Amino acid sequence: MNTAEKRQYLHQRIDELDDKFLRVLHAMVEAYEPGGNPITAADLIARAEASNQDIEAGRVHK
């Protein structure tokens, strides 16, 4: 699968994601620093947990 095919596949799958997984994916994308320091697994988990807490507390944007 080439890059264009991967992008198209991911675009299609994103539309099918549930809210919880979408929040995790969003945290990953927000944490990605092209050419910078890679995010650690611990950082990603912490961001996802913080996102879940915000949602549970009603701090969401629609």
**Contact indicator for 13, 21 with CB cutoff of 8 Å:** no
DSSP assignment letter at 34 = T
Which pLDDT tens digit goes with each residue over 2-14?
A: 999 999 999 999 9
Q: What is the pLDDT of residue 40?
A: 81
Domain-located, residue 30 = yes
- Range(s) of the domain holding residue 31: 18-62
pLDDT band (50, 70, 90) for residue 62: low
Please determine, for residue 36, whether its predicted confidence score (pLDDT) is greater than 80. Answer: no
Q: What is the pLDDT of residue 12?
A: 93
Domain-located, residue 59 = yes
**Contact indicator for 60, 49 with CB cutoff of 8 Å:** no
Domain-located, residue 37 = yes
Domain-located, residue 42 = yes
Considering the chain, what is the average pLDDT of its residues?
A: 85
Number of domains in the chain: 1
Domain-located, residue 1 = no
